[in-house]
Structure 1
Amino acid sequence: MEKLWGGRFEGASTPWIDAFGASIEVDQAMAEQDLIGSLAHVKMLGETGILEPEEAAAISSGLQILQQKLARGELTFTIQNEDIHLNMEKLLHAEIGPVAGKLHTARSRNDQVATDMHLYLKTHVQLIQEAIHDLQTALVAKAAEHIETVMPGYTHLQHAQPIAFAHHLLAYYEMLARDKERLQDSLKRIDICPLGAAALAGTTFPIDRAMTADTLGFQAIYANSLDAVSDRDFILEFLSDASILMMHLSRFAEELILWTSHEFQFVTLTDAYSTGSSIMPQKKNPDMAELIRGKTGRVYGNLFGLLTVLKGLPLAYNKDLQEDKEGMFDTVETLLSSLKIFTGMIETMEVHSETMRQSTEKDFSNATELADYLAAKGLPFREAHEIVGKLVLACTKKGYYLQNVPLADYQAISPLIEADIYDKLASRTAVSRRHSEGGTGFDQVASQIEKAKQALQM
């Protein structure tokens, strides 16, 4: 097959080398964006007089036919035509004849592919933000059901202090809010149009870059043509934001995995988000959560892969940049599917409130309550801390908990301790009393939920 760039070459191409150099199997994901960009480009060529009106109209009509065929799944792409751009040009030629060759006037594949990627990422970042919003909505709804559900709070994966389960869920709401903000901020760098930079130096044709940028809905154009075709910072930023988002999902997935275990039994995931064992009939495995935890690694890999591709590239375009797309597409699909799965898991999971509560009654997570109790009565906190630490040690040796210590023993330790200590040591009381802003007190959690609902406009 004759190459669209083959005029300079004498030798025939080799199929297996063509396959190695082709990117169509990857970049056909941008077929829609490629056609949108071409329509904007030909509109500008016609309105600036670079093409005759009838030429621009014929090309525009042909591109619209290709859009319709693409929507119906009727377009076939070939490795011989290398990438989505040359495939579309060949298909356009088949529709309208030689005038199709004028579409590429004042344009290079270099600024064309960069434009496609900006368009693709702009659309999909917004879809990811919507998916984050859905997960946040599920978290807030579940939190509203469990404002007064008490569970152990952990540090070092050891029982630390009792907290509200809703408070724990809302911590992830806040992480996701930052993820959404980061993605929103990245649109400032994504929403810039490289079209018109041509190969690297601009063009001699009297193009109107502002017109194409406006037609495509971009907020700005690249100020430097070299930068326009070589910049992949906007993809790196997206991959970095995506890595942080996946890290948050992975942390939460790890907790779900722990909570569904026999040792915790805090929650049960529905069968839709679980799988069984081929040999152990009793098993119900949290595989979807495990997969999200595992897929975090591939998103990290996509970020480091592109950083490595770019680290030694001179300006402007180099074939290495063909490696910039697969990781971007993979990350987008990984995020969208992971967020959808996570939303479903949260919406449908069963929370075992009583199990959570009981786990706070058979531990020493109320030790801080006793230290605070003594400090509130005037004892220096460090002294109170030491007293309670020694008491916990004595309890562990005797096999009982702080709420089981007789009042006489308490008063032998400190006359400041009175009969009200047992109410103060109750985990529910401990949680309810933490009224500091942003704390786990039930009133604070309820306030956080209302603020979240307003932010989400639930």
Structure 2
Amino acid sequence: RANVSPLGAGALAGSTLPIDPATTARTLGFAAAFENSIDAVSDRDYYAEFLFDLALLAVHLSSLGEELVLWASTEFGFVHPAPELGSGSSLMPQKRNPDVAELARGKTGRVVGDLVSLLTTLKALPLAYNRDVQEDKAPVFDAVDQVLPVLDALAAAMSSLAVDEVRLAEAASDPRILATDLAEYLVSRGVPFREAHETVARYLTESTGEVEATSLQAFDPRFGDDVAGVLDARTSLARRKTHGGPSPEAVKAQLARAHETIGQERYFLSKHVEPADVVDRLLKGEPE
């Protein structure tokens, strides 16, 4: 979108001189020249789209930061706060604050604000060049300056986290979280899902004790002897191996596809290094 040369568009209507915008575009390493002179001068869609991408990325980083804040809290205790995640409390000696995660949340509002700032500048502008668009670069540069450090900081924090597997296992030990598995167990034995859902819901509502195989069989004979195998979190996780699921097998496949996509993107971006270097040397006045 941005790899288009605007040279030759003039202020809005091109030129009466016999210039060739395609020649300057090739010389400067652009993929193409502009198609319409007014669009070349007034369009800022590439900035708006770029800022939206950064804002959306910041929103996702904020969500990840929120998870880390919760997981590092005493109430959850799923991860042990590492030095890379934050500093110690200025008041409480025993406390380590998840500063990186909290700042990831905080920076998001600023980046979203940059997007809104640009869109507001572009709102209701008449065609061709207007002095208003001088304000287009500040929010773009600011958003980049905010997002890149957050990416670096979160990458360092994530790679240093120590997960408390015992605490996670305890949190997943309540058999009630496997209610959907129980309903699907009945479905696999021919029970319509609506009925299976109602049966499990009624059992959990009326049950006052532990959720276990014997009480399930006493409640409804359609629960067989093998229902005990359903009441295990690790087994439940391993069985969810459909495409995109959370089982270790499915997640490995997702990671493989993600790495492949990243490799393709890196290759694609590498194709733009040479044109960018050409433009950089020309701007610096260096010989080719």
TM, length-normalised to structure 2:
0.84
For residue 392 of structure 1, what is the amino acid of its counterpart?
Answer: L
Count of equivalent residues: 264
Identity of aligned residues (%): 46
Cα distance in 2 between the residues matched to 1:406 and 1:454: 44
How far apart are 1:216 and its partner, in Å? Answer: 1.8
Give the superposition deviation at 1:240.
Answer: 1.3
Structure 2 matches for 1:220-239, cutoff 5 A? Answer: 220-239=32-51
Aligned pair partner of 2:201 in 389, 405, 409:
389
SS of 1:365 mapped into structure 2: helix
- State the alpha-carbon separation in 1 of the partners of residues 65 and 100 from structure 2: 9
Q: Can you give the 5+ residue segments of structure 2 that lack an aligned partner in the other structure?
A: 265-288
Say which SS state the counterpart of residue 245 (structure 2) adopts: coil
Structure 2 residue 214 is the aligned partner of structure 1 residue 442: no
RMSD after superposition? 2.0
Correspondent of 1:320 among 119, 124, 132: 132
What's the offset of the Cα at 1:239? 0.9
Q: Distance in 1 between matches of 2:260 and 2:49?
A: 29
Q: How far apart are residue 249 of structure 1 and its match? A: 1.1
- What corresponds to 2:285 in structure 1? none
Residue 281, structure 1, aligned to residue 87, structure 2:
no
Change (3 A) 1:438 1:222: same
Which has the higher mean CA deviation after the structures are superposed, 306-315 or 201-210?
201-210
Q: What CA distance in whole angstroms lies between the structure 2 residues aligned with 1:222 and 1:371?
A: 60
Q: 1:241 aligns with which of 18, 28, 53?
A: 53
Equivalent-residue separation in structure 1 for 2:195 and 2:17 (angstroms): 82
Q: Spell out, residue by residue over 1:198-233, the C-alpha distance to the aligned partner (whole angstroms, 9 max, x if none).
A: 222323444332222112211111122222121111
Following the alignment from structure 2 to structure 1, what is the Cα–Cα distance between the partners of residues 168 and 113? 37
1:260 to 41, 57, 72: 72
Which sections of structure 1, spanning at least 5 residues, go unmatched? 1-188
Aligned to 1:430: 236
Match of 2:183 among 366, 371, 379: 371
Q: Is the 8 A contact 1:309 1:321 kept in 2?
A: yes
The answer to whether 1:309 aligns with 2:115 is no
Matches for 1:34-433 after TM superposition, within 5 Å:
189-362=1-174, 364-395=176-207, 398=208, 400-402=209-211, 405=212, 407=214, 409-433=215-239
Q: Write the distance in 2 (CA, Å) between the matches of 1:314 and 1:457.
A: 42
Aligned residues of 2:175 and 2:232 also touching (Cα < 8 A): no
Report the Cα distance in structure 2 between the residues aligned to 1:425 and 1:390, rounded to whole angstroms.
17
Going from structure 1 to structure 2, the CA distance change for 1:401 and 1:193 (only over 3 Å counts) comes to farther
| 1:316 counterpart letter in structure 2 | A
Alpha carbons 2:175, 2:231 under 8 Å: kept: no
Contact map agreement 2:111 2:143 (CA 8 A) in 1: yes
TM-score with structure 1 setting the length: 0.54
Cα distance, 1:300 vs. partner? 1.1
Q: Do the aligned residues in 2 keep the contact of 1:269 with 1:345 (CA within 8 Å)? A: no
Task: Please give the secondary structure, in 2, of the residue aligned with 1:379.
Answer: coil
Separation (CA, whole Å) in 2 of partners of 1:264 and 1:227: 53
Structure 1 runs of 4+ off > 4 angstroms? none
Flag the 1:223–1:450 CA change in 2: closer, same or farther, 3 A: closer
Q: In the alignment, is the contact (CA less than 8 A) between 1:371 and 1:381 conserved in 2? A: yes
| Pairwise CA distance, 1:311 | 1.1
